Amino acid sequence: MTIAIWFDLDGTLVSFPDYGRVLATACEAVGIGDADAFAAAYNDAFFEYFGDLTPEPYRRAAADALATVDADAAPESFVTAVRDAEYDAVETPPAVRETLSTLAAADDVAVGVCTNGVPEWQRRKLRDSGLVTHVDATVVSYEAGAHKPAPEPFERAEALIEADRRVMIGDGEESDVAGARERGWEAVHVDGPADVPAAVDSVR
Ligand SMILES: [Mg+2]
């Protein structure tokens, strides 16, 4: 009996920072004075591009938002600043590290990460966290062709890891829990990384 345990990334294996603060930090770094107006325009544009799986949603949203404020920053500079600010703010609790390390050493368990996001951002976050060494497969929604809770990311996960049981652990009631159950998987909701060890214990 083998079990594949799939984890969401943001807000599950790693903390997801206060994004208002991340955007404010990035605005300050590139000299955008009216950070609130910029952030409102940026968020609107970003989620539209992201929802449609449009390539380069960060750069496109930055370009759109910069056109609405009085600032000389280049979109690419803002993207670098916001990425650095996000990565600086992300934390990986030691207990999550230990839990994944233990799972990786077990013969009957495979570990996956199934995350909504842009591949290079999410994969680098997984590398920077040090968790990638414990992970057998990663699914990023942009590569799967749809975001969770749509079936595509879960189908891709099923193709990547053979298993008798599949479990999704995540902080998204809809994206993680409902999406996984719709595919016939088991699912455990967590409120954040601190809940991950107990969630894993509950399914093993
Ligand atoms: Mg999440």
Per-residue pLDDT of the chain (204 residues; tens, 9 = 90+): 899 999 999 999 999 999 999 999 999 999 999 999 999 999 999 999 999 999 999 999 999 999 999 889 999 999 999 999 999 999 999 999 999 999 999 999 999 999 999 999 999 999 999 999 999 999 999 999 999 999 999 999 999 999 999 999 999 999 999 999 999 999 999 999 999 999 999 999
Q: Can you tell me which residue has the tokens 């879960």?
A: 154
Dihedral of the alpha carbons of 105, 159, 117, 89, in degrees to the nearest 10: 0
Q: Which structure tokens are listed for 72?
A: 């000389």
Residue 70 alpha carbon to ligand 1 centre in Å? 34
Residue 45 alpha carbon to ligand 1 centre in Å? 20
Residue 71 alpha carbon to ligand 1 centre in Å? 32
Q: Can you tell me which residue has the tokens 């916001």?
A: 82
Candidates 129, 138, 140; CA nearest to 110 is 138
* Sequence-distant (≥ 6) Cβ neighbours of residue 15 within 8 angstroms: 89, 90, 91, 92, 93, 192, 193
Question: What residues pack around ion ligand 1 (CB closer than 5 A)?
Answer: 8, 10-11, 171-172
Residue 68 alpha carbon to ligand 1 centre in Å? 30
pLDDT at 100: 98
